Structure 1
Amino acid sequence: MVSTLRIPRLVVAAPSSGSGKTTVATGLMAAFTGRGLTVSPHKAGPDYIDPGYHALATGRPGRNLDAYLCGTELLGPLCAHGAAGADLAVVEGVMGLYDGAAGQGELASTAQLAKALRAPVVLVVDGSSQSRSVAALVHGFASWDPEVRIGGVILNKVGSDRHEELLREALDEAGVDVLGVLRRTPQAATPSRHLGLVPVAEREPDAVAAVAAMAEQVRAGCDLDALWALARSAPPLTGAPWDPAGALAGAGTSPPSGPRPVVAVAGGAAFTFSYAEHAELLTAAGAEVVPFDPLRDEHLPESTGALVIGGGFPEVYAPELSANAALRAEVASLAAAGAPVVAECAGLLYLARELDGAPMCGVLDASARMTERLTLGYRDAVAVGDSVLAPAGTRVSGHEFHRTRLEPGAGTAPAWGVVRPGPPRTEGFVQGGVHASYLHVHWAALPTAASRLVARAVRPGAPV
């Protein structure tokens, strides 16, 4: 029997980046939460920062839905998993509606995601510098792919009552519903820097105010009743929700017996990038997951038997991270003892000898520095050798996103062989129990990463 899940849902998309998707999506999440609904927040693509604002708006973890990292077959199950117990799911798109992985058609586009979720699309259109032309623009997006259902438009950056009237008249001629009109509101702005928005963890009081401003802007300018009706028009999602224990069982693994090892997971302002499913998989694999903040905590959590250090902005906090010499020494000792240490991007830099001249943990004989060049994009890679994360030959799809450079970029035992795009190359480090790399990988597509890490973790009472 095929299971179905009735969850009202909307996908918030736009013709291009910069149209106001984050403002509208976050504002909708907060506005509907304010109405007493339980809202499940989701983000298309690999972005870690927007989900932090979504979580602030809803009180639930922001979750990513990425066809490139996880495969199209997991989009619906992961959405259903995240939306368990919710009244409404709101999905913020990525880039323009039909933009996806470079040179690979609709793969990883918002349009592909909307079709996989069978969800109506709310198109956020920047109305500045146009009037009647908006109808041609929206008509083109609505007719390009008949399987993508444009349920209506929210006009953003509208300059005046007269401007709004002209835009509404044009869209009425085109037969497209206007579900909201937003004026320019500086209070709702969120600051950016070299990798996008400043994460919530770094500016929480201001972030709370920004989310509140987004919610008020949406409440004042959007027809929430019409948007709720549109969300409820989505047909049921078919198939079973993703389940971490089920994913591990399907991969042929089960939690080991004995005490649950402590897996310390770095967080705080310097390490804000993570996927919620990683902690869920570690827990299902038998671990006790304990967060810690390398900026504030001078010691690893008690009985730490394995360490996960994800992405973030260590370059912003290099002096503070360096000043916490006690913690750096404990991380180095844990790695030297052979305990599993998995580090991605920011974690890779933290394990290096130094970052912009500031001493780091010294686990890796490599030096990192900031550059002007942005490295960004999906990657296809293969595990060069066996590691705590994957056996040799394992193929993964990942994402790279940084403005730093590491010298050398790979150890004598590299973590990955990157096979696409560009010429083949190796990157990252595998030494002892350490797996460190620039590549972000979503473990929902590689659940055995969690079970391998937990199997090798040091259990309470065992010598480190």
Structure 2
Amino acid sequence: MVNRLVVAAPASGSGKTTVATGLMAALRAAGDRVAPFKVGPDYIDPGYHGLAAGRPGRNLDPVMVGEQRVASLFAAGARGCDVAVVEGVMGLFDGRVDTEGVGSTAHVAKLLSAPVLFVVDARGQSRSLAALLHGFRGYDPSVRIGAVVLNQVGSPRHEQVLRQACAEVGLEVVGVLPRDPAFALPSRHLGLVTAAEHGPAARAAVDAVAASVAAHVDLDAVRRLAATAPPLAVPAWNPEQEVRRAPGTPVIAVAGGAAFTFGYAEHVELLRAAGADVAVVDPLRDEALPGGTAGLVLPGGFPEQHADALSANESLRADVAAFARSGGPVHAECGGLLYLARQLDGLPMCGVLDADAAMSPRLVLGYRDALATEDSVLHAAGTRLTGHEFHRTVLTPGTGEPPAWRWRGHDRRAVAEGFVVGGVHASYLHTHPAASPESVMRFVRACGAAPARREAARS
């Protein structure tokens, strides 16, 4: 089993992404084969992790996939690597609200039996750091904080005092990062700008944090910490064992490019294992769906940031609309839902759904325990899944189209969300295919049968 560690912090904004991404890139530059991971449903950090490590960033989310799958998904993503770096989420013990830390960084660290590299933003504190570290280490002794990285250190004297505080509680300092605004990545309404959109600047930002980590963090000490993780006696997740291959090889187009970056690596792996020929289509550039397209996946992303270009690509919008209206299977999540609407912020979209979308000042964020209300190309009615919402747009729907999901909100009010229209399943809800491989198999089979159904309808 690969050596591994989890990068955690007392709270969001402490520098986890800087340290984790920098470690991935610096270790790779030093010759290590690095496996990158992110705790939780976040899609943005894994894009930077992929740039840093040279292989796809993967998510580890016990809430969405179930804790029994986390170690095996980790083993699959870490296969063939020397070291795995897992970036945590929020503060070390922050998990799903109203649970005892389910889905937290600490939860995943325990599931992986991995030591924790603790990143502390040292601004505004000196000896009090000892109390903070003592509290976090003692709160749950089964979570092993193995070493500390001091971030945002102001001076050599500041560093000296902080090192003494760490020594008081017996924790090794393996890195000290100075204050440097050059390490910041650009922000936007849902967090960071994605690596795909940030382009060459993203590469430059990753190179900058890699250089800083290489200069200020003891990589050998990090390797030694990762090597203290015991073997994990779990088989690696295998998509070929999760699904049965459908007859034929339907072409399934998956939207990509800068506007549609929110997808899980396991999704494409499951589609291929179920017999699909996966072809990427970029709605910002491509004027038609790939030849022979039998199914379409529209993942999440930031289409609202590219609405002008998406709207201007009238040829592809018309092709998508014609495909959907002919009964072609379409799986759309969040950004994909917006693309299928009549319009987005007043700009014409595909017009497949009887709904208009617009930006909103309110952030909708959180896990949802959802019930599928209709039979669809993805789910049988009555299927239960946990998904995640993450958007600042609102949809104004028309009437008469059945919802994709129902759930209870935090105030216990009933919520009906999404659309099931013909072969279209569209929703704000992000789901993880590894949690429901049967939905991928169902979709591929629907794609295999769709051309025959459409030909029969035309006849």
TM (norm. structure 1) is 0.96
User: Partner letter of residue 263 of structure 1?
Assistant: I
Distance 1:408 1:375 in 2: 17
Q: CA deviation at 1:459?
A: 7.0
Q: Does structure 1 retain, via aligned residues, the 8 Å contact 2:294–2:451?
A: no
- Indicate yes or no: 2:407 matched with 1:418: yes
- Indicate yes or no: 2:446 matched with 1:428: no
Q: CA deviation at 1:106?
A: 1.1
Equivalent residue for 1:311? Answer: 300
Q: CA deviation at 1:319?
A: 1.0
Q: Does structure 1 retain, via aligned residues, the 8 Å contact 2:329–2:450?
A: no
User: Partner letter of residue 182 of structure 2?
Assistant: Q
Distance 2:138 2:436 in 1: 37
Equivalent residue for 1:175? Answer: 170
Distance 1:411 1:453 in 2: 24
Equivalent residue for 1:355? Answer: 344
Distance 2:250 2:139 in 1: 52
Equivalent residue for 2:354? Answer: 365
Identity level (%):
60
User: Partner letter of residue 353 of structure 2?
Assistant: L
Equivalent residue for 2:288? Answer: 299
Deviation string for 1:312-338 (max 9, x for gaps)? Answer: 111111111000000000000110111
Where do 1:186-205 residues align within 5 Å? 186-205=181-200
Equivalent residue for 1:3? Answer: none
Q: Does structure 2 retain, via aligned residues, the 8 Å contact 1:379–1:398?
A: yes
Q: CA deviation at 1:350?
A: 0.2
Where do 1:31-430 residues align within 5 Å? 31-248=26-243, 254-258=244-248, 260-408=249-397, 412-422=401-411, 423-430=413-420
TM (norm. structure 2) is 0.97
User: Partner letter of residue 340 of structure 1?
Assistant: P
User: Partner letter of residue 119 of structure 1?
Assistant: A
Distance 1:194 1:52 in 2: 17
Q: Does structure 2 retain, via aligned residues, the 8 Å contact 1:410–1:428?
A: no
Q: CA deviation at 1:33?
A: 0.4
Deviation string for 1:229-276 (max 9, x for gaps)? Answer: 11011001111111111122xxxxx21223x11110001111110000
Equivalent residue for 2:446? Answer: 456
Equivalent residue for 2:436? Answer: 446
Distance 1:208 1:181 in 2: 23
SS state at 2:416 partner? strand
User: What are the ranges of 5 or more consecutive residues in structure 1 without an aligned counterpart?
Assistant: 1-5, 249-253
- Shift in alpha-carbon separation, 1:427–1:409, aligned structure 2, 3 A: farther
Q: CA deviation at 1:412?
A: 2.6
Distance 1:48 1:460 in 2: 31
Q: Does structure 1 retain, via aligned residues, the 8 Å contact 2:126–2:161?
A: yes
Deviation string for 1:351-378 (max 9, x for gaps)? Answer: 0000000000000010000010000011
Distance 1:232 1:370 in 2: 47
Distance 2:130 2:338 in 1: 48
Deviation string for 1:15-54 (max 9, x for gaps)? Answer: 0000000000000000100011110100000000000000
Q: CA deviation at 1:420?
A: 4.6
Distance 1:257 1:346 in 2: 31
Q: CA deviation at 1:347?
A: 0.3
Equivalent residue for 1:251? Answer: none
Distance 1:14 1:123 in 2: 5
User: Partner letter of residue 246 of structure 1?
Assistant: Q
Q: Does structure 2 retain, via aligned residues, the 8 Å contact 1:13–1:121?
A: yes
User: What are the ranges of 5 or more consecutive residues in structure 2 without an aligned counterpart?
Assistant: none
Q: CA deviation at 1:154?
A: 0.2
- Indicate yes or no: 2:12 matched with 1:17: yes
Distance 1:84 1:294 in 2: 33
In the alignment of these two chains, the number of paired residues is 453
